[in-house]
Structure formats: structure tokens, C-alpha cells
Structure 1
């Protein structure tokens, strides 16, 4: 059963913004209990990182965190939700944690099965974490999320703000990421030019921290200078639209078009790419298709 195991480790949670501090305080309070926890936040905001932090702070700190991706239609999640699955398989995880990623991507029927699976493994004393990049409260209003599953996990709900709402953390994240990337890529980049820093702090980051790391990785690999400059960002962040509007006020529909284009270029124009773009933008897939048609953004 291929999946992801995360063992206790030293984490690097970077930032001093109010939203991040609130999320960390929620983790510290939840760590004193053993109830299920729901993590909400856009793609790339660090939900798994916060869940790992909570796991390490709680009674499960010396056990394993077992991660299952619900967004993989033919992944392990379907085996777990089958009626004949033997839960004793997870006896080794007793006292540990189970992290179900992107639970809102499951059908309503599978959400109900997940609720019953969580009840079945309770005797094994495994703590349950669920995460979603879609707003569960909106889904509940649309009757697109199972009420029993929400009630089961809704006692502890931790929201992680998107990067565009914690701009003061971006310079700290950049410094931390460059330091790590230098080690990984065997480079010696010292930082950013003022122009490059302005671009990165002004961008809306639809892919959040994951996108920031991707941009810095590309810039470090393409460049051969001690500082990342504006030209190293050209071709990814610096489309002509973005260069011309970075310091200007623009109509909201024009900003929406730019963000949609950025998200689609980030995740791709395939069906799966559009699903991920919709989750990153916190809109439904149907809404994304309507806007793609409106702005004629099909590849």
C-alpha cells in the first residue's frame, strides 16, 4: 500500500504574521487533546506542515504520521473505504496519526464511507487529521460535504491563511528557502535585488508557499549570479501583463483574468490541472470553466 509516512522531525515554520501565529496557537491547544482536527487552507499554504507540527507537539510525537491523498482517484483511499478492508492492518499505527489530504475531493458517498472508517479505527487510538483546500463551510451550504464527517472533525478547526494575506512573512520565507535551496542545489545565492524583492512581495501567489519555492528554485537554477534579479523571474512571474500592472490599479475583472491565467499556467490545462487551479483559487470547477470561457483562456 504505497503512501507517505512522516516521522517526527525538526520543522521549520517561518513567519510572524497574525494569521500564522493564530494557526500555531490552535495547533498547540489541539495538541493537548486527542480529538480529530480539520485543517483548511488553499493549496500550498502548509496544511501538512502544520499537521506534522501538531502531531509532534501532541501525545503522538514519537509515533508515525500516516498520510493518504484523497485526491488520487485510484489511490489507497479507495482500498481503505471498501467494506471488506481489514482495519487491523493499521495496528502498527496505534498511538499515531492519520492525515487525510483533500477530503473535499471525495464524493459524498465516499465522505460517508470515510466517516465510518474513522469510527472503525477508533479502538486503535489513532488520531485523525483531515485537510481541505476548498472551504468546507461553503460546501456544507451547497450540501456537498457530509454532515456527519464535518461534525466528527469540526470540533478542532485550524485555518491557514494564504500567502497574499501574510505578506510580511514573504521576506523571511525567501531567506529561509534560499538557504535551503543553496544546500540542495549546491549554489551560493546571497539574496534578491530590490526590484526582484518588490516583484515577489507584490505578487498574489495563487500557489502560495509551494509556488514561491518553485519560483526561487527556477531562478537559482537559471541564474549564475550572487543575487536573484528581475530578469531571473521573467517568463514565469513577469508576463507582459504582470510587468505592466504590478504597480497600477486595474479593473477587478482584469485582475481576475490575470490570476486565472497564472493558476492555469501553474497547474496546467488538463482536467486534473483545472481541478487544482480551482482549489487554489477557492472556486468550484464549474465556476472556473465559466470564467475560462468568459476570458477565452483555453490553451
Structure 2
């Protein structure tokens, strides 16, 4: 499928040259000479990408960029200009422009920019097809990536997926490490095999080993039959072990032995079982810190830290927020029988201004609540929680922590504020934070240990 590129340029000679370069890069070029006709084209026959001059007759380039992003937040945009200033460049990048070409631009620079744009569109199409298929079959939210950090993470995932290497997913709670693990599985040669996920921190340590390795009949009191563990059940597929830093020293030792030998012993068993399974790991604390503190085996760390992928927090990729909101709103509204077609500009502004300490998980929880409360066909301010609906776009000085605070100090302050707001109810606080109650319990235990 040939992607379409809408070119908006009022200089006839330059427009002809850019059109030729776009066709060389593999685009179907559509040419307009003013902003108003370009806007009609965006509305009536939406292109896959947009290349626009900054100064145009009628609607200017920045206004056209805003219109394009409101119609399709994922559409990439290239901006050309001979009148770049720091202010309009900052505004363009804030709105999510992919690149700026300064006039008069060199042919090779233009070719390189168009080639990157074509590659971005091809990558987005592959990812979109796979993740939407995965969302349909697994009921998971997918990743929308306009931001550079998220695109880089997805590119790494695509590169490692075709290999048998173990993967370590790093990032804050709620960024979507579980969804990324499913994404890697779906891109891998094991896609037709099983996918299992286990949160190592959600189980008592006495049960973790039996869940992973299984047990033989009579291995312990109550073991009436043989049970295969998740490592065996996931054979030919993928096993995702979340919060691996919570695994007991005994489980870490057994897991290291399995990774080295690709064999396991069920609890109470004497016969090795060979298993072929792809392992993906995630941790809710930096594993290097856990190794330094003596809580995680250094040799196991080096075994699983083969191909790390860092998933950026939502606050570091604000340009991805509109597309995420649109996807989550559309998917959940349909499930809940609500005919919602979008979000009001005021509500989107407040969603964009919020810090999202719980990341994508918190965003999804907020939207689920908002869908229930929404009136009419658009989600408005009245459906948002007070802490988000009351957020102002600008304030950074009124935060309850100093500007020099570390991430751990910010997290601690936010947990305490949320608990106060929920009157000490940990279940409600965990829901507001977008994390599991067990995760909140462990964080509170750590805070108590530090005090």
C-alpha cells in the first residue's frame, strides 16, 4: 500500500520539486497551494502524512498542523520554512512535528527527511496491524507512538522479537510493560504459541516456585496430583515474569539454573524436564540497585539483562496522549455500550496538563470512570476526577515537593497525598494511582523501612 503525502506549498517551482522527491521516496503526492484548501483535503480525503510550509495563503502552517493533529493525532507532519524562529520551532515540536526543513534546503537533506518519514509510516503500519490484532485477541490496549522515546522502544522490541534472547523491560509502574511483553510475543516466531504472565510480587514466596516449576504428586502436604508449572505450560511460547525483583533467593537460584541449562526439576521431582520457552522479565525497581543491596543475584541479573528496553513514562511522551485517549475511549466505550465519539477540547487540555504518576494504567482507569459518567457523545470536564478537572495548564510551582526532589521523593509524596485524599483506604488509593493493591502495600512497607 502506497502512503499518501499532502504537500502544501505556495511556491510553484518548489512545490514541483518536493512533489518529485516525495514520489521518489515512495509516496502518492497530493499538492495544495494554500492552507484553506489543504484543510479541506485533510477533512475530506485524509492523507497518511503532511508536509506543509510555515507561511501560507489563508491558514498558516502552525494552524494547519494543529488542525491535522486534532483530526488524527498519529499523522506525522514535516514543516518547511525560511522564517524559522525559536518560538515557532518550539511550538511546532510541541505539537508533534516530525522534522523541520529550513529553506533553501539541500536535496539530500530533503531526501533523507522524506525517507525517514516513509520508514516511520511503514513501521507504524506494521506495529498498528500487529497491536490491533493483539488487542482484539487478548483484550489489551496497544501502544500509539508519535514520540521519539516510544518509537525507539518499539523499534527495539521489533528487532529483538525475532530472536530467542531474553528481554528485560524497564520503566515505572503502569507504563505498559505487560502490553509490551505481549507485543514482543506477537511479533516473534512464537506468536502461535502460548503466552503466560506471572507477577512474582503478587504471590507468597512459598507458592512462587510451585507456580513456576510445578510439582510432583506427594511433593508436599496437599500435592495430590502432579502439576506442571508455567515454564512447562508456556513451552513453545513466551513467559513474562513481572516484578522479578520480588522473587525469593531460592526462586532466583532455580531460575538461574533453568536459564543456564534449559532444564527444570519439578518440586519433589528427580527427573529433569527440558523446556523451550522465551522469557521476558520486568522489574518495578532498578535491578542494579537490588544487586548492590544484596537482594538480587548478580549472576541472574547478568543472565536476564541481555536486551533491556526502557518504556518511557507517559509524562515524557505527551504527544502520544491524544492518540492513547482516542484508542482507549473508543475501545472501552464500545464495550460499555456508550456512543462516545471523542473528548471536548477543554477535557483534552486538562488530561494533557495532568502529570499521570500512574502512567497509562492510571489514564485507562480514569477513562473507564469517565465513560460511565459521560453525558452526550463527547467526554467533558464534568466526567473527569476533580484532581484532573481542576488541573491548570501552567502551574509547576505549586507542587508539594521541591524542584530538586528525586523521583523516589516525588513518588513518596504522591502516594501519601493520594492516601490522604482516599482517607487511608488503600484499595481506593491503589486504584487512583493506577497500581495493584499489592504493589501499593509493598511501597508502603518500603517507606516504613526507610523511616
TM-score, length of structure 2 as denominator length: 0.54
Residues 374 and 382 of structure 2 are in contact (CA less than 8 Å); yes or no, is this contact kept in structure 1? no
Alignment counterpart, residue 237 of structure 2, candidates 63, 74, 96: 96
**Count of residue pairs brought into register by the alignment:** 277
Note if 1:247 corresponds to 2:433: no
Note if 1:259 corresponds to 2:414.
Answer: yes
Q: Deviations over 1:122-161 (max 9, x none)?
A: 5322111111122222222323221121111111111111
Q: Which residue of 1 aligns with 2:196?
A: 66
Aligned equivalent of 1:50, options 180, 183, 202 = 180
Q: Which structure 1 residue ranges, 5 or more long, are not aligned? A: 1-7, 294-299
Q: Structure 2: where are the runs of 5+ without partners? A: 1-131, 136-141, 217-225, 264-273, 403-409, 431-435
Q: CA contact under 8 A between 1:80 and 1:117: conserved in structure 2?
A: no
Deviates more, 1:266-275 or 1:229-238: 266-275
Cα shift readout 1:228-267 (whole Å, capped 9, x = no counterpart)? 22222134534xxxx3765323266447476234654689
Distance in 1 (alpha carbons) for counterparts of 2:248 and 2:399? 33
Is 1:162–1:208's contact at 8 Å kept on the other side of the alignment?
yes
Q: Check whether the contact 1:263–1:277 (CA below 8 A) recurs between aligned residues.
A: no
Equivalent position of 2:364 in the other structure: 213
Q: Distance in 1 between matches of 2:240 and 2:425?
A: 26
User: Distance in 1 between the 2:340 and 2:181 partners?
Assistant: 31
Q: C-alpha root-mean-square deviation of aligned residues, in Å?
A: 3.3
Name which of 272, 276, 285 aligns with 2:439.
276
- Please name the residue that 1:155 is paired with: 306
Alignment counterpart, residue 281 of structure 2, candidates 110, 130, 149: 130
Aligned position for 1:231: 382
**Could you say what secondary structure the match of 2:291 adopts?**
helix
- How far apart, in 2, do the equivalents of 1:52 and 1:174 lie? 20
* 2:128 aligned partner: none
Following superposition, the deviation at residue 107 of structure 1 comes to 3.2
Q: Does the residue aligned with 2:239 lie in a helix, a strand or coil? A: strand
Instruction: Tell whether the 8 Å contact from 1:23 to 1:160 is kept in structure 2 after alignment.
Output: yes
In the alignment, is the contact (CA less than 8 A) between 2:349 and 2:393 conserved in 1?
A: no
Deviations 1:42-86 (CA, angstroms, capped at 9, x unpaired): 222111111111112122111111212211233852314679568
Q: Rg bigger for which structure?
A: 2
Distance 2:401 2:387 in 1: 18
1:251/1:286 CA distance change after superposition, 3 Å: farther
Separation of aligned partners in 1, 2:260 and 2:449: 39
Aligned equivalent of 1:166: 317
Note closer, same or farther for the CA distance 1:230–1:288 as it changes in structure 2 (3 Å cut). farther
